[in-house]
Amino acid sequence: MSGVRAGLRAFASDNYAGVHPDVWAAMVDADRDHAVSYGADPVTELLQERVRETFGPEAFGVPVFTGTAANVLALQAMVPPWGSVVASSVAHVRHDEGGAPERIGRFPVITVDVPDGRLTPEALAPLLHRDGAVHASQPAVVELAQSTELGTVYTPEQVRAVTDAAHAAGLSVHMDGARLSNAAAALGVPLRAFTTDAGVDVLSYGGTKNGGMGAEMVVVLRPEAVAAAALIGPSDLPGGDPTSARERAEKALAYLRKSSMQLASKHRYLAAQLLALLTDDLGVALAGRANLMARTLAEGAERMAGVQVVQPVEANAVFAALDPAAADLLRGDFPFYDWDPAAGVVRWMTSWDTTEQDVAAFLAALDRALTTARPHHGAQPDA
């Protein structure tokens, strides 16, 4: 992998992209005078209104700095001390959180193999029972990624099938939405269509990969799914009312966020970014651009001999198999990651700021790399 360099355009990750001008403008607008710290500011209040408008009247948002924090904090709030999380075998929480679920969240992640990253009721069935045996952790939460780690997208009906199966077995459902807006753009539906309306209980909303700067958010859609709320006593609540599920969940997340070192003092700058992305569907529009560029890239690459796209291109990720020698040559011009080195599969990611010119330049470099790496089959040597 190449490091930072002038003029760098990369297809390694949408984290490489910069901050969208409207998000910068929102932070500049928030940068006025003094404001109450730790989330008691007008920008955060507006964000909570937008969260309710977007996801439903019971929803509330908990901004944090990183996607790892959003996932672990959400699951930590949902999983009882004896519980475990059931996820896809390629799940980010299993492979790419540096052990934070176990180290910080203190819950195990149990995985199931699925060919395209999408969990199904049939695949989950063997894991969705609670037999009460003290020798095993008890499954408590099903984790979905939308879009998935393989770039595929769940339809609202597919999400509903999983949430119905999970709820029938007494489990709740978390959605890792690092690329939630990419899924909405791919499906052409509102964010709530495959979250709140499809039975998801808690989600992580990603801003950093989609034009933000270190801004993510836990969004609680069904407060009853926050298991940690059961530990909140009447004295912790406004007026001492122990019956409000939402107030108990809000307090539980507040305590967990602070103890997890994710409570921003200058909270308004996180809130401003997330508010900008949720306003007028800016985040969905930016993600739609990235999705379009991924499809353009995949269509161009598939026309070249020696490239095979191995997963459906539904969001902003392209998984392709090609000669490792060609991949190494191509990386000299455009950074990207290997996905499965043994199979020669790489991952190309597009971003909100990927242009047609970027894709054209990448395809030209890919063609050169394939040509250079291809064995010469010209004249044979003399006998």
Which pLDDT belongs to residue 379? Answer: 41
Domain count, the chain: 2
Residue 65's identity, in one-letter code, is F
* pLDDT tens string 81-90: 999 999 999 9
Is 4 a member of any domain? no
Q: Does residue 276 share a domain with residue 320?
A: no
State the angle between helix axes of 282-302 and 268-278 in degrees (0 to 180), rounded to the nearest 10. Answer: 60
Q: For position 75, which CATH number holds?
A: 3.40.640.10
Question: Is 216 a residue whose pLDDT tops 90?
Answer: yes
**Residue 383 forms part of a structural domain:** no
Do residues 274 and 212 touch, judged by C-beta distance below 8 A?
yes
d(CA 124, CA 116): 14
Residue 54 has pLDDT above 70, yes or no: yes
DSSP string, 234-295: GGGSGGG-TT-HHHHHHHHHHHHHHHTT---TTTHHHHHHHHHHHGGGHHHHHHHHHHHHHH
Q: Which of 114, 189, 196, 111 is nearest to 159 (CA)?
A: 196
pLDDT for 8 equals 84
| Tokens at 304, concatenated | 């070249």
Mean pLDDT of 212-234: 92
Cα dihedral 145/150/151/153 (nearest 10): -50
Give the whole-number percent of the chain exceeding pLDDT 70. 95
Mean pLDDT of 374-380: 52
Residue 378 confidence class, pLDDT cut points 50, 70, 90: very low
Helices (H), the chain: 21-30, 42-55, 67-78, 92-95, 100, 121-124, 156-168, 180-187, 245-259, 268-278, 282-302, 324-331, 356-373
Task: Encode pLDDT of 183-198 as tens digits.
Answer: 999 999 999 999 999 9
Residue 271 has pLDDT above 70, yes or no: yes
Residues 6+ apart with CB under 8 A from 172: 78, 140, 141, 142, 166, 201, 202, 222, 225, 227
Q: How far apart are CA 86 and CA 165, in angstroms?
A: 13
Specify whether 99 is located in the same domain as 159. yes
Looking at this protein, which amino acid is placed at residue 300?
A: G
Averaged pLDDT for residues 110-126: 94
CA distance 242 to 233: 7
Q: Which amino acid is at 161?
A: A
Q: What's residue 383's pLDDT? A: 38
Q: What is the pLDDT of residue 382?
A: 41
End residue of a domain, out of 219, 253, 281 = 281
Residue 117 has which token pair? 């990253």
Which structural domain, as residue segments, surrounds residue 128?
21-281
8 A C-beta contact, residue 92 and residue 13: no
- Reported confidence tier of residue 241, pLDDT bands at 50, 70, 90: low
* pLDDT attached to residue 240: 60
The predicted pLDDT at position 243 comes to: 62
Residue ending a domain, among 262, 281, 300, is 281
Q: What is the pLDDT of residues 346-358, one digit of tens each?
A: 999 999 999 999 9
Query: Virtual CA dihedral for 192, 195, 201, 202, nearest 10 degrees?
Result: -90
The overall average pLDDT reported for the chain is 92
Residue that terminates a domain, selected from 240, 266, 281: 281
Give the pLDDT confidence of 322-334 residue by residue, as tens digits: 999 999 999 999 9
Whether 319 has a pLDDT exceeding 80, the answer reads: yes
Q: CA-to-CA distance for 350 and 206, rounded, in angstroms?
A: 16
Instruction: Give the per-residue pLDDT at 5.
Output: 59
Residue 280, pLDDT > 90, answer yes
